Structure 1
């Protein structure tokens, strides 16, 4: 019995030592000293949508890396870019991690499409196609650039480019912007087609060189014979024909940057659109020009006496005109409704019809004066009241023969809530014209008031009926307002004609 007891006492320390070593053995078994293994990458969503991923576009999404020996991860890289992770989300057979934001123009491309996990036991790499989406082309900076000029394609995902062909010529030297939104190159000497091909690691985009003329705006849409008219837009090079209000213009000059065409207006007899044709196609305005006729072509007031006009000449009212619609003018200083032309005419435009003018004095801070009241008329057809406000515009011919510096021309309708502030001198330069010009005010430019920024400086108009009422019919008020604390530097001497609303898109 003593012998057996001695053996037991001898073995007891050995047994306790083995028991003490068991946690360490278990830890080694769990993989801290074994290299990691990756078997798949899955979506981090509930089953059954936790599908295996073979590719992805990095958008900050969460994924689950599955495999073995992952719990002791010290670094996880996607395309060589380290990801931040929480060790609490690491398990022996899985690691939950967020894909990092990756700027593909800055990465080591030898590590592209790889997922690497490093643990205390080693590291492993796994093929995972993580990259930008397929390329997209939006446009080109200058279709008409000369050979050797710097130009750029605009688009998205213009990165990791493998092949680039412009107009049938392979471009071997090019540069992508950091985020792949531009692709810069030198215009080739020869273009045999209009095809553009860009192939990246993510795919290929095919596009054509587009240069259909675009008419953005016109200096004077209602010119008299002999007026200078300028049409502004894009892709106005190589003009083959120009039609203005149904009349062919045979003599014109295209600017060097191909962004404007100038001509001297002939005698016009009818309303019609503007059309410019080049070898790339024809661009036509969705609205008519030369629109002097009351209640036609969107005209809501043309000052020719068809509508009601009341002009207060210091208490000597000339009376009311006949017809419906019209204006009621209240001007503090000199004001009128007349056909004199010497003060307002110039090289950009003349006016031999009747028009309204205002001539107001310097405005003190925070005050307003002058005013033209447009009686109620149909601004937008009922069928178009659900259109986006940016599809329609308020247009008018104006002439400002002397410097206008300070204050705004405010325009508001009879429906309260929105206002447009025209403040051309706000840029710091006094404003004036060289005769009659056309101004275009998209209805989307009318804005609500803001409690901090002020009247007409809040949210933009989103529904036409909020400006014109449920039937698209309203009156309006045009007046001058000084929003500054100091007085304006000048008064306001301006003439108005052919106020109209037209569809511009």
Structure 2
């Protein structure tokens, strides 16, 4: 117990010391308790807070960056604005000669390239300082396989649109018409999908730069294993009643998993939650189902969860031709386990189709979820099955999910 207490004391001391050193680095000469003062501040210069970069003087900074103001009588500053956006001041990081502040992340309504200090007296003092707005970034897409005319949603940051420099979206060499961009927010953009023949990586351009091309490919048609439309496609041991079409279709047919799922440590809800694809039945008697290095590839599919799913993991594993369902009951076979309901409060339901991406480098779990530290050695068959082989954190609660799956594929790594 004494060792534990001593360790906690040491950790607390080190944490306090690190915080103190950071502030001292910004102002070695300032001591004493903060007190707001009268008068007018003087800023000598602005620099990074890191002592190792103390010689780098700044004339501007990006939104979200922390900077150190160095000057005199800085305790007279009551409020601080970058352009017309108010910054958050912390009196613990303000002394007579230094002030640490983070540039706000909000976009100014009026870009004056000024730092505005509001004093105790109400007087305003300006200092030239450029707030740099980053180029847009595209982090992800809701669904890669959106039919023509339907909404495409991309997520990222710094999606800024102005009258003089409108936001533009490109798919490969195709530029999305401005009229097809229906909603722009700082971290999310929605636009109407072009025809399926238009495919390629996405890029977004604003007045502040270009995102660069995404690693994912919109309308990607590479590496399709099965989409339930292009035959011959023989599901392992039948399961023909799971292949349907209807108003919820992404395009053509889909596989529909549905029925009662009981929560439990060792539960198998049956063939209504299973899909098999075996190479020997589908014209691939030997070798891998897909080209390329498996360790550098990504397994993908689209899913639409119509009724909530809240129990058991989806196990996804590859095996050799002829292995049939033997891998299902061999917990030493490496697999991926997709359990989206764990990350959404215990229940998962989508608002339409979404794309699921799992690097094959992550296909290394045992049936109970232990890390086997290896990926599959054979890729001549594929099994997808919602069931539990002893994974304690994937028990969940009883449910009756309806899960649609389409466009199962393996693509080069992102």
Corresponding residue for residue 381 of structure 2 = 475
2:20 counterpart residue number: 103
Work out whether residues 246 and 273 of structure 1, in 8 Å CA contact, stay in contact via their aligned partners in 2: no
State how far apart, in whole Å, the 2-side matches of 1:172 and 1:264 are.
Answer: 37
Q: Which residue of 2 aligns with 1:308?
A: 233
Q: CA deviation at 1:262?
A: 0.6
Q: State the shift of 1:428 in Å.
A: 3.0
String of CA shifts for 1:203-258, please: whole Å, max 9, x gaps: xxxx99462322222112111223222111122222532134654322213443x1
Equivalent residue for 1:237? 160
Aligned to 2:37: none
TM-score, length-scaled by structure 2 = 0.60
Contact 2:310 2:396 in 1 (8 A): no
Name the residue aligned to 2:351: 434
Q: Please show how residues 247-262 of structure 1 align to structure 2 within 5 Å.
A: 247-250=174-177, 251-256=180-185, 258-262=186-190
Q: Structure 1 residues 254 and 410 mapped into 2: Cα distance closer, same or farther (>3 Å)?
A: same
Distance between the aligned counterparts of 2:292 and 2:395, measured in 1?
Answer: 42
Q: Which runs of 5+ in 1 are unaligned?
A: 1-81, 84-99, 113-130, 144-150, 194-206, 311-327
Distance 1:361 1:444 in 2: 32
CA RMSD for the aligned pairs? 4.5
Q: Is residue 215 of structure 1 aligned with residue 149 of structure 2?
A: no
- Of 286, 292, 299 in structure 1, the residue corresponding to residue 224 of structure 2 is 299
Structure 2: runs of 5 or more not aligned: 1-12, 32-49, 73-80, 94-99, 115-129, 280-287, 321-331
| Count of aligned pairs | 312
Partner of 2:7: none
Aligned to 2:29, the other structure's residue is in SS state helix
Cα distance in structure 2, aligned partners of 1:363 and 1:287: 36
Q: State which structure, 1 or 2, has the greater radius of gyration over its C-alpha atoms.
A: 1
Match of 1:373 in 2: 276
CA 1:475/1:246 → structure 2, altered by over 3 Å: closer, same or farther? farther
Report the Cα offset of residue 500 of structure 1: 2.0
Among 355, 360, 369, which residue is 2:254 paired with?
355
Residue deviations 1:429-462, cap 9 Å, x none?
432223322122234544434xxxx722537x6x
Matched residues in 2 for 1:399 and 1:386: separation? 27
Checking the alignment, whether the CA contact within 8 Å between 1:286 and 1:503 is kept in structure 2 is no
Give the Cα separation in 1 of the matches to 2:305 and 2:387: 17
Aligned to 1:498: 407
Residue 277 (structure 1) aligned to one of 178, 188, 205: 205
Asked if 1 retains the 8 angstrom alpha-carbon contact of 2:183 and 2:191, the reply is no
1:261-295 deviation digits (Å, cap 9, x = unpaired)? 11232333243222222221243212322134xxx
Distance 2:290 2:92 in 1: 46
Equivalent residue number for residue 9 of structure 1: none
State the SS of the aligned residue for 2:212. strand
Counterpart-to-counterpart distance in 1, 2:203 and 2:22? 43
Match of 1:402 in 2: 307
Does 2:337 align with 1:424?
no
Q: How does 1:156-171 map to 2 (within 5 A)?
A: none
SS at match of 2:306: coil
Q: In the alignment, is the contact (CA less than 8 A) between 2:337 and 2:365 conserved in 1? A: no
Q: Distance in 1 between matches of 2:353 and 2:104?
A: 42
Q: In structure 1, how many angstroms separate the alpha carbons of the residues matched to 2:335 and 2:158? A: 34
Indicate conservation of the 8 Å contact 2:159/2:187, yes or no: yes
2:171, 2:198 within 8 Å by CA — same for their partners in 1? Answer: no
Matched with 1:92 is none
Compared CA separation, residues 235 and 447, structure 1 to 2 (3 A): farther
CA contact (8 A) 2:335 2:376 kept: no
- State the alpha-carbon separation in 1 of the partners of residues 156 and 19 from structure 2: 38
